[in-house]
Chains A and B, each alone.
Chain A
């Protein structure tokens, strides 16, 4: 389908970001490598190499489409969808639109979905979510069984928002979170949650996201909660940032589990009694780190674990190398996705760590896939799994 969408008439989320980038991006290449560290940081560009696979190229493509210089056709698909939306480019770009580069890429995806169609295999995400309310196509769990099993009330101050990956694929992360939250005794419950919308937003398939968002807000409100905690970095980013972007009115605050734990530690309400003598390295999930600016909180927690030696990978914090799973890449480009994770684990090897920990079940999935596929020999653990293995001293 060919067309010349005039931006003023196009209904696209983040139209203002597109316009800002057109007036600001100078094609200086700073987004290609970590600023001042001069390390490779863009998984997409490093793999596919042509300018169209780096942030600046994508901004140019957006411009070309809007100008009518480029046609809407399926040749767009790879340059636009082979990107993990990790935000490493945004961390390096020094121009005023830097913070919005991921929004720009997502807006571009939204337009592409409208004019051409979704990225490879990504329509499955939409179809499954439409029918089953989760991108994995599993029967929607209303979490009643879990509530009963764990003796959770119908109403509570806190809701633990499990997230689809933890609920349907990385159940150990879910169970460790449930167990840990009970141990710290914060008075929480579960709700009949739908997908937070992250996979749909990241892949430009936005038709049903408002319905999902409304539902989640409703069930959280119905539970009488004023606070939501999640151990999924993707859900955290979405509930915080994207719900706002879609003008959703929330009556609750959203926390990543690490914020909660760090707060308890700081107030002296939580201590770790047992120790683990391990060398651990921490992988910053893009959605918690670059997207939400939380780099030190998880590290503070790891450093407070008795016996643990936290060793940093060469690329860390805002310049961390992505795990390769995000932005719909895992489903669209599965082989490349695992290659990216492999590169991360090779970096982890240099640290001498035996455990690679993270704070996102989707990172865990991809790192674990690479760990198995390339026999890397790590223990890949979500931080909450480590926490839940320890003896705690909880003070009221």
Chain B
């Protein structure tokens, strides 16, 4: 180990390598109930050259490399399963390299945070915006995109994985590859060339959703979107456990909202800082926030008219639904809930316990009602109030279904895990595809995934990473 440390110090400099247990410890776990695991080293890279040398060294020594940005993935994905070297991209590879107004994209290093991008755009390109998650402002844009995040423009644009224009990666062979329209140029790319990922073979798929298992991303171009001048936000309140699915579907396909984020009453109460929130009989079951933007007042009026029409049609079907101005609601009840709208922000209620975990999944829209019912009864059986979060993606083509569990870290892991396992099993059986998946969950998935997919997956992993150095253990590799 001393010899390896020497070598790492030669690559990164003495101050950027540590094997001090005290320094390693904070990287050994995250907010989830996933078991902790210590790395052997942490390194802080600054450039590609260092990373190319690192990959070669790791292949030589067969030591794992675990890419890390801020460890906010809520899936235990940066916890080392087999020791190894944590590559902390968050500290020095965090530059916004280029913002292209003409083709509306930003070229980023992996460590760029949502807060950083928001501030940069507001100060320098206020006509453009990005799509922000409910994650803390210091989670990374690239980490979120390469894990197919779902953010506050997702009803319009879908998964954040779709908005990647291009990547620069360091492969298992230590080659630097540029993928996307930036692939022209033998040595360097033109910063203006990162505008599209098609129509060549889409090699991006070799790195998106692979949880750092196939290579190191060193640059990523993400699409930006026009930032319309007129912005409003509505909220629907639903009385009836599963009627919220009609909103996800019908409002989603009306193509007038940027996002539909739906949460149950327990989550709303939690956001309003009611200490141990439970739903009282007679209270509504769900609510959804619907941000709407428009270029002109007329356009806004038209969108509002459509929204009212959709809501009226739902009422005619007997659905009990209230439509209110969310920002007025925030003023009356609790200004803190505005954070749901003013992203990126800390959603306090999500970070006020030392533990947070969830079953986050892409879900088939047609099973959503059943999912809600089944998961509610699991929560009830465990005597834990249900916390549910859902989204309508890309005009309602699919949905996000996410039961959330807050807990006391170091105390309640076992209890939480039992609940989560049951939820995972039920949801996978109904077709949900978990994202940012911890290994215990992929193990369950493997039992129902077709063998052809698994063989192809294994073969690609082996081919991309013959020594299994990249984040081993994910997806049970």
A residues near B (Cβ < 8 Å) are 22-30, 32-33, 35-38, 48-52, 56-57, 60-61, 63-64, 67, 69-71, 75-76, 79, 94-96
Contacts and interface: CB of A to CB of B under 8 A. Distances in A.
Given A50-B42, A60-B26, A70-B21, A28 B119 contact: no
Nearest to B117: A38
Contacts of B348: 94-95
A75 B22 contact: yes
7 contacts: A30-B351, A36-B115, A50-B23, A52-B25, A61-B22, A63-B410, A95-B352
- 3 tightest CB-CB pairs across the interface, nearest first? A38-B115, A29-B138, A51-B26
A28 B410 contact: no
Interface in B336-364: 345-346, 348, 351-356
A33 B21 contact: no
A52 to B, nearest CB: 4
A24 B88 CA distance: 24
Given A38-B137, A56-B26, 14 more contacts: A22-B354, A22-B410, A23-B354, A24-B353, A26-B31, A26-B352, A26-B354, A26-B409, A28-B31, A49-B16, A49-B91, A52-B25, A75-B21, A75-B22
Nearest to A20: B354
A38 B113 contact: yes
B346 A70 contact: no
B455 interface: no
A60 B136 contact: no
Nearest to B90: A29
A79 B88 CA distance: 17
A213 B23 CA distance: 36
B285 interface: no
A94 B21 contact: no
Interface in B113-130: 113, 115-116, 118-119
Contacts of B351: 26, 28, 30, 94-95
A191 B177 CA distance: 72
A94 B136 CA distance: 10
Contacts of A27: 26, 30-31, 71-72
B336 to A, nearest CB: 9
Contact of B138 (A33, A37, A64, A69): A33
Given A50-B88, A95-B351, A28 B346 contact: yes
B408 interface: yes
A101 to B, nearest CB: 14
Most buried by B among A36, A57, A76: A36
B195 interface: no
A23 B26 contact: no
Most buried by A among B22, B25, B72, B348: B22
B62 interface: no
Contacts of B15: 48-49
A67 B21 CA distance: 14
A92 to B, nearest CB: 9
Given A38-B118, A60-B26, A24 B21 contact: no
A38 B118 CA distance: 9
Nearest to B70: A29
Given A28-B346, A35-B346, A38-B119, A52 B26 contact: yes
Contact of B408 (A23, A57, A61, A63): A23
Contact of B18 (A32, A50, A76): A50
Contacts of A26: 31, 351-356, 409
Contacts of A56: 26
Contacts of B27: 51
B369 interface: no
A391 B160 CA distance: 64
B251 interface: no
A71 B409 CA distance: 21
Contacts of A22: 354, 409-410
B139 interface: yes
Contacts of B21: 70-71, 75
Interface in B406-433: 408-410
B217 interface: no
Contacts of A33: 113, 115, 137-138
Contacts of B30: 27
Contacts of B113: 33, 38
B103 to A, nearest CB: 25
A258 B8 CA distance: 52
Given A23-B353, A28-B351, A95-B352, A49 B92 contact: yes
B44 interface: yes
B25 A61 contact: yes
A284 B410 CA distance: 38
Contacts of B88: 49-51
B136 A24 contact: no
Contacts of A38: 113, 115-116, 118-119, 137
B142 to A, nearest CB: 15
A159 to B, nearest CB: 43
A29 B72 CA distance: 9
Interface string B7-37: 0000000011010111101110011000000
Given A29-B138, A38-B115, A67-B410, A79 B22 contact: yes
Nearest to B44: A49
Contact of A28 (B18, B44, B138): B138
A69 B72 CA distance: 22
Contacts of A51: 23, 26-27, 42, 88
Contact of B22 (A23, A28, A36, A70): A70
A384 to B, nearest CB: 36
A28 B353 contact: no
Nearest to A47: B15
B404 to A, nearest CB: 13
A69 B348 CA distance: 29
A99 to B, nearest CB: 14
A64 B23 CA distance: 11
Contact of A52 (B22, B118, B353): B22
Most buried by B among A25, A33, A52, A79: A52
A28 B92 contact: no
A37 B91 CA distance: 18
Nearest to A45: B91
B25 A69 contact: yes
Contacts of A30: 136-138, 346, 351
Interface string B38-50: 0000101000000
Contacts of B115: 33, 36, 38
Nearest to B91: A49
A61 B26 CA distance: 7
B346 A75 contact: no
Contacts of A95: 348, 351-352
B138 A70 contact: no
Given A24-B354, A26-B31, A28-B351, A52 B136 contact: no
A69 B36 CA distance: 11
Contacts of B20: 52, 75, 79
A49 B25 CA distance: 14
